[in-house]
Amino acid sequence: MVLILFMTNYSKTLFESAFIASFGERCFLEGPLAAYAHSLLYRCEQCTEPLVLSVISEEANVETIDGDTYQVKCMCGWKENLPGFQAIKHYVVPWERTQYNSA
């Protein structure tokens, strides 16, 4: 199961600090709420701005995400369907899902 969280323009330093921060290269969660946030960094082919696509997956391996195709959109109007393996950089961090009670 893969869920796209958001896609937006970010500066490289903001991207790196948000997703590399305090996580080691290999960290695995277990249990029903275990998940992994995959963040893919692309470059707009029209204006060259960085684009970030974030995906939630139950798997930590990058091959699952790299094998899928995503619609990448930029604020300049450029958009294209690109495979995950064409991302400039691919970050994976543990992501604990929480259950919400609606009142």
Residues 57-73 have pLDDT tens digits of 988 989 989 999 999 99
Helix (H, G, I), strand (E, B) or coil at 17: helix
Tokens for 100, please give them. Answer: 């919400």
- Decide: 8 and 54 in contact? Cβ < 8 Å: no
| Residue 74 pLDDT class (50, 70, 90 cuts) | very high
- Give the H/E segment covering residue 64: helix 62-66
Residues 4-17 have pLDDT tens digits of 444 444 443 344 43
Give the separation between CA 92 and CA 55, rounded to whole angstroms: 10
